[in-house]
Structure 1
Amino acid sequence: MSRPERNVHIAKSVKVIEWLKTEMLDQVSNLYKGLHQANQSLISDSLASLVVVVYVLARRVGVSYREIDQNVARKLREHTREGHQLEEWYGDLSQLEEYINKR
């Protein structure tokens, strides 16, 4: 790849990363609106969009989908073992871990 092509590639990558960051903020804003309005459809759509943006942003910055999945699984195990409040009160973390493992 010649120097000018490489510079264009780098600039494009930076632009995409910046766009993904703004998309993430936009979806967090939509999530808050959905929560405020008790709009289940907007809440679900915003959360799904956030998951997609997280995976794509990870890939753009050099983190594989597999690495994200492994880190999520590790975090769930750690938090469950350490007695995280969400686990203690509701069992959310072990339920999520079980769901992920069955996929």
Structure 2
Amino acid sequence: MNRPEKGMQFAKNVKVIDWLKTEILDQIANLYKGLHYANRHFIIDSLSSLIVSVYILARRVGLSFRELDQAVIEKLREHKNEGHQLEEWYGDLSSLEEYMNKR
């Protein structure tokens, strides 16, 4: 690949990263709307879109899906060890860690 093509790829990647960042913000706004109206479909749609956008953003910045999964599992363990309230009250962190380890 010659120099101009590398420059085009870099510019394209920067543009995609910026687009993904706005997509994440848009889905957060949609999630708030879904929560406000208690619309289950809207909530699931925005949460799933958020997850997809985050995974693709991770890939665009040079992380593998596996690296992101491992970092999430490590973050869950870290929060559990620190006595996070969601773990103490509901066991959510353990449940998510167990789910992710079974995939």
Q: Same fold (TM over 0.5)?
A: yes
CA root-mean-square deviation: 0.8
Using the aligned pairs only, state the percent identity.
Answer: 71
Cα offsets for 1:45-95 (capped at 9, x unmatched):
100010000000000000111110000111111111211011011111001
Report the Cα distance in structure 2 between the residues aligned to 1:23 and 1:30, rounded to whole angstroms.
10
The aligned amino acid for 2:4 is P
Answer yes or no: is 1:13 the counterpart of 2:27. no
One-letter amino acid matched to 2:84: H
Whole-Å separation in 1 of the counterparts to 2:79 and 2:6: 42
Q: Tell me the secondary structure at the aligned position of residue 63 of structure 2.
A: coil
1:35 is matched with which residue? 35
Distance 1:62 1:85 in 2: 32
Partner residue in 2 for 1:51: 51
| Gap regions ≥5 residues in structure 2 | none
Please report how far the alpha carbon of residue 3 of structure 1 lies from its aligned counterpart in structure 2 after TM superposition: 1.4
Off by >6 Å, runs of 4+ in structure 1: none
Residue ranges of structure 1 left out of the alignment (5+ in a row)? none
- SS of the residue corresponding to residue 45 of structure 1 reads helix
Q: Which residue of 2 aligns with 1:98?
A: 98
Q: Distance in 1 between matches of 2:91 and 2:20?
A: 32
Amino acid at match of 2:53: V
